[in-house]
Structure 1
């Protein structure tokens, strides 16, 4: 049975897992893997594409509270190895997975029945002072970048995983960080604010001429976690015509900040409602964080995404709004920012 709606997703960590498992061709994504995403699960659930993150863990990971900086040589090596995995996957299986750099290519992939992958960099530790690595990654397909993960680097300061807390922690972007934003603007690379602290968020808002975007964050007003966005930040995103992708991670959904797989899917809908009230129907989408965080059991893999459709329908969301949240809002934002 074909799902009624197709999802475009703001964030997943599939490539990190493939790299950790030395699956350097991504073969398990096509043959079936023990994780949230593979081709069969995506097709079952209507997962039609998303941002595929290049993420370099510190030596103190796993564990979400890593703070030690990542050496640039390691970051450069691992980032380019992950990028190579994605390139190999799409070249070997273009009928199933396509590397896309524009909104038009994403729509073409959907029409052809292929999953659309947009390359995203989560934490810019691999980028050196002359920004040559940024140019190379852009040439390879990079179209989205978060300057930091939840730790400090040469460009700025990420928020730690803290509950209850806000992102009002530490100073803003460094001089290199300001230059990085300018380079992303020049290259039309989307700037992701999801892990950035409040002062860094403010700096991007001042510098950027494009819509403000948080690819995988939720509403601080419903869950006071440092990774979530305050009403003030949401107002700034709304004023810019930007977008927030709702994160499925239970610690970012629940009012108590707990990691609990028994979290109901209806909490995702509550965050959608809250964000729609502040951003409008065109400013909200999904950023699951699949393969990167603990999500509600009903959504453990992409095959469960129809459960989220059911929850939205039961909450009174009409078909047009559901289509916008699942697909249209992301594609429109990508078209405006990236091309």
Structure 2
């Protein structure tokens, strides 16, 4: 089952291409590459596009991180803050990778919901330029203005580690996101400028104090592109029912994160996760937010995902599971892409 097409809230394919050689490695996206997403599998799986994250990696021992996250409890320290001078070249190179993918016809960088609809109708892969962690943005927000003109339409003020704009949550289980302080003065200015430009603010990774600061100061719908339910999986990265209620009140939405540690009740980074667990999170999100405010935010190429999914080639299995679970055609279409288009139209104004 490859339809309706999936428009996805988060992937890290640009980071993977960056690490594989940068601009010189983009052809692999067209012909086939190691990893979760490429053009051939996108076509066969009914993957219509999504938010392509630009992310500056920290020097993390991934083997150690994943080993810790298989324990019954864990609290991984946050990486050090990254300076703008270090972050900016990485952001520019990953933005250039996305622009190069557009240049060779692999995708279209979309700046309006109408452009996404056109891509979905024509079979062209639709991409939103998104930044996960605003380390490259200066306090005066000049870089934000420049990146906006290059196509940036979505930004997360933090990726867990702190920035000059706010604080994120460590990978802690069990826990909620009530860890650390809220947005800084620079963070409040970032929210205001994003509202002026029509840049979506992503609440994923932001701690709870920062979440409530955005809720108080932003005039746009609240959106978490790739987050799950703390009531089911009590992980610091997941949203509490109180946060979900605020998102609903703002007419925002949440994209279901496929990362197994945020799906499992035990919070462990183990791939043995049945599709029923994903559906349980979807049920809770729909019950909490309403069926017009829930979508998918896979975290492909950036996380361990359920073994039954594997990569984007597994998306048809999720659609089939939705049908068997009792979701009707209209609801599945909303979850797969219509709700993302709705909220983006409200935020972007077109």
Q: Give me the TM-score of the superposition, normalised by structure 1.
A: 0.97
Q: Which aligned pairs between 1:1-339 and structure 2 lie closer than 5 A?
A: 3-25=2-24, 26-60=26-60, 62=62, 63=65, 65=76, 66-93=78-105, 96-338=106-348, 339=350
Worse overlay, 289-298 or 61-70: 61-70
**Which 5+ residue runs of structure 1 have no aligned equivalent?**
none
Q: Distance in 2 between matches of 1:219 and 1:106?
A: 28
Q: Distance in 1 between matches of 2:142 and 2:31?
A: 35
Aligned length: 336
3-state secondary structure, aligned to 2:308: helix
Deviation at 1:251, TM superposition (A): 0.3
Q: Distance in 2 between matches of 1:139 and 1:92?
A: 20
Q: Distance in 2 between matches of 1:183 and 1:61?
A: 35
**Which 5+ residue runs of structure 2 have no aligned equivalent?**
67-75
CA contact (8 A) 2:11 2:301 kept: yes
Q: Give me the TM-score of the superposition, normalised by structure 2.
A: 0.94
3-state secondary structure, aligned to 2:8: strand
Q: Distance in 1 between matches of 2:61 and 2:129?
A: 23
CA contact (8 A) 1:57 1:70 kept: no
CA contact (8 A) 2:139 2:164 kept: no
